[in-house]
């Protein structure tokens, strides 16, 4: 491979072209009347989606420079998705508009640093203005409205998510699963728990697209000890391999030889395994491991005081669950299969007694957290349909709606349909740049704030966006929105056309930050094939079985 440095107008044009391609592909999904995108797969049927993040990730240009630019954009979209699980479409629309306007100013000879300063000054005022518009979400109806909007107007999804929140509380655990039935959506509440520990190695991931681990009917090994070497758990691992079921190890830590051997055997396909750190610290870690043992039916939490050693464990000594879902930050145990629920209730009663007798406010708070985790359970949204394509498309919308609902509960909501960003224009009325080029940056943000509502109206098949924007700004009512479903004006909060503040805020913030990166980008170094490069002759296969132990 050879390196090529790309600069000047060639680089600027490539940035504009790639961002425009991405915005065209993603922007058409914006709003309740947005269109869907089909993403082809190396195998199987194409995936139908309105998820902007999935679309951005799927676009992989062949040309090295275009690929480098697309990767930068995908990384920013990933940040947006990780933080709120939604907003990538809005982020793409805003980024494209800012870059388009910056390119025009740069071509006219404006100073790029001054433009950037103006843009960043305007950004802070816009974010402050968004905060001033927010309204808290509390009622079940409001939660259903937010979820419905995020699910592209699907009231069934909205009502089911509201039902889940009612079942487990605003801070409760809600997960989404594919159902094997034809019923579109059903809610099931089950025993379960979530704690803030993620996988110890990304090589354990079973779903590479979403970077998470999903196990069905796994065994669970619990220990307060660190695992540095593989020998102590070798007997139980061999039994697990013979059983064909997955294994989750929850320990103080797993590192060194133990971690590398587990990863190697996972990659070779000999063992379905994952490891996470135990939640909490010190005595609280001991207590929480005890809670997990009760919930999963594990007979032992291995420690130095216990007569039973790791080498002595049998499959019957391990805990189990119906499903486990692990991300880089959290572990969710779903559906304890311990039939003796009296053990769980006894543990709950024990914690309640400790709360009553504790004299420390801090201890009481931690005990209440344990109680909530143990007694709250998990709400499972099961998504079904008549075909795999239909199920996956609906599941995407359910997950987006769930992320948006959590964001709305956390930070509140603002008027939807692109109007919240539109109404922040007034916060920039008195902002003046230090020089003409800085003022250009401020004006670029003003024009960018119009882009989302314009795109939503355009996707509804209307060319009336300029008239709609003029009418909305003239009314001096920041709760007024334009509902593209009915093509009429309405109050945002009574009509339910609302967006989570957190989604709008982060989408705007990341869009401006990404645009700032591109506007000051002077060169990109890319690899291009050289004449001496030869295609690979193939790689040696990876052995299977338990040979890595």
3-state secondary structure of 483: strand
- C-alpha span between 434 and 146 (Å, rounded): 41
Residue 513: what are its φ and ψ, rounded to 5°?
-60, -40
246 among the known binding-site residues? no
Q: What is the largest CA-CA distance in the chain?
A: 79
Strands 219-222 and 247-251: parallel
Instruction: Retrieve residue 181's tokens.
Output: 């039935």
Query: Residue 167: helix, strand or coil by DSSP?
Result: helix
Angle at 292 between CA 289 and CA 296, to 5 degrees: 140
CA 139/CA 93 separation, integer angstroms: 32
Question: What's the CA gap between 534 and 536, in Å, rounded?
Answer: 6
Does the annotation list 320 as a binding residue?
A: no
Q: Is 32 annotated as a binding residue?
A: yes
**Residue 270 in marked binding region:** no
The answer to whether the beta carbons of residues 292 and 220 sit under 8 Å apart is yes
List the end-to-end C-alpha distance of the chain, in Å, as a whole number. 37
- How far apart, in whole angstroms, are the C-alpha atoms of residue 97 and residue 85? 22
The CB-based long-range contact list for 17-20 (8 Å cut-off, 24+ gap) reads 17/66, 18/61, 18/66, 18/69, 18/70, 18/73, 19/69, 19/73, 19/95, 19/96, 19/99, 19/100, 19/518, 20/96, 20/100
Residue 30 known to bind ligand: yes
314 in a labelled binding site: no
499 belongs to an annotated ligand binding site: yes
Q: Is 153 annotated as a binding residue?
A: no
Tokens coding 266: 């996972």
d(CA 355, CA 338): 26
Q: Is 89 annotated as a binding residue?
A: yes
Taking CA atoms, 466 is separated from 29, 480, 484, in Å, by 20, 16, 14
**Is 417 marked as binding a ligand?**
yes
Residue 1 CB neighbour total at 10 angstroms: 10
Q: Tell me, what DSSP letter sits at residue 484?
A: T
Is 407 part of any known ligand binding site?
no
Query: CB-based contacts of 358: which residues, under 8 Å, 6+ apart?
Result: 364, 367
Q: Is 466 within any annotated ligand binding site?
A: no
Is the Cβ–Cβ distance between 465 and 457 less than 8 Å?
A: yes
Note whether 198 and 325 are within 8 A (CB).
no
Query: How crowded is residue 35: how many other Cβ atoms within 10 Å of its Cβ?
Result: 11
Confirm if 89 and 52 have CB atoms less than 8 A apart: yes
**Which segments are annotated as binding site?**
29-32, 50, 86-90, 417, 499
**Which segments are annotated as binding site for ATP?**
29-32, 50, 86-90, 417, 499
């Amino acid at each position: 491979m050879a390196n090529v440095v790309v600069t000047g107008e060639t680089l600027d044009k490539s940035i504009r072209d790639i961002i425009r391609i991405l915005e065209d592909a993603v922007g058409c999904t914006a709003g309740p009347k947005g269109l869907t995108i089909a993403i082809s797969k190396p195998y199987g049927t194409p995936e139908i989606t309105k998820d902007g993040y999935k679309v951005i990730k799927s676009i992989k240009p062949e040309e090295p420079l275009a690929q480098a630019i697309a990767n930068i954009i995908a990384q920013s979209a990933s940040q947006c998705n990780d933080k709120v699980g939604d907003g990538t479409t809005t982020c793409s629309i805003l980024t494209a508009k800012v870059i388009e306007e910056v390119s025009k100013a740069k071509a006219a000879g404006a100073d790029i640093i001054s433009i950037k300063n103006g843009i960043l000054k305007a950004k802070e005022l816009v974010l402050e203005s968004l905060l001033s518009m927010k309204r808290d979400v509390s009622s079940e109806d409001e939660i259903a409205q937010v979820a419905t909007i995020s699910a592209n107007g699907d009231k069934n999804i909205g009502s089911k998510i509201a039902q889940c929140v009612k079942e487990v509380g605003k801070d409760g655990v809600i997960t989404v699963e594919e159902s094997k039935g034809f019923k579109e959506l059903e809610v099931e509440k089950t025993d379960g728990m979530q704690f803030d520990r993620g996988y110890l190695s990304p090589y354990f991931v079973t779903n590479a697209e979403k970077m998470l681990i999903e196990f069905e009917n796994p065994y669970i090994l619990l220990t307060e000890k660190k695992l540095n070497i593989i020998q102590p758990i070798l007997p139980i691992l061999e039994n697990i391999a013979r059983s064909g079921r997955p294994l989750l190890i929850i320990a103080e830590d797993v590192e060194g030889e133990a971690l590398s051997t587990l990863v190697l055997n996972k990659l070779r396909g000999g063992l379905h395994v994952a490891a996470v750190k135990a939640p909490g610290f010190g005595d609280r870690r001991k207590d929480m491991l005890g809670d997990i043992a009760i919930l999963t039916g594990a007979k032992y939490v291995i420690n130095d005081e216990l007569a039973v050693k790791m080498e002595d464990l049998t499959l019957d000594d391990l805990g189990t669950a119906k499903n486990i879902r692990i991300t880089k930050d959290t572990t969710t145990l779903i559906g304890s299969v311990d039939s003796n629920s009296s053990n769980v209730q006894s543990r709950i009663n024990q914690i309640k007694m400790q709360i009553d007798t504790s004299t420390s406010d801090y201890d009481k708070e931690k005990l209440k957290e344990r109680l909530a985790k143990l007694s709250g359970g998990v709400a499972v949204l099961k998504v079904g349909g008549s075909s795999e394509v239909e199920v996956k498309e609906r599941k995407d919308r359910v997950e987006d709606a769930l992320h948006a609902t959590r964001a709305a509960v956390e930070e509140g909501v603002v008027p939807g349909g692109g109007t919240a960003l539109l109404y922040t224009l007034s916060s920039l009325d008195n902002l003046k740049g230090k020089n003409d080029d800085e003022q250009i940056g401020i004006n670029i943000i003003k024009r960018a704030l119009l882009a989302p509502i314009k795109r939503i109206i355009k996707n509804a098949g209307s060319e009336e966006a300029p008239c709609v924007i003029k009418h909305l700004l003239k009314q001096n009512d920041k709760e007024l929105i334009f509902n593209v479903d009915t093509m009429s004006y309405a109050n945002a909060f009574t009509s339910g056309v609302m967006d989570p503040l957190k989604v709008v805020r982060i989408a705007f913030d990341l869009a401006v930050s990404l645009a700032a990166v591109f506007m000051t980008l002077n060169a990109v170094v890319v690899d291009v094939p050289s004449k001496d490069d030869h295609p690979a002759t193939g790689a040696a296969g990876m052995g299977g079985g338990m040979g890595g132990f």
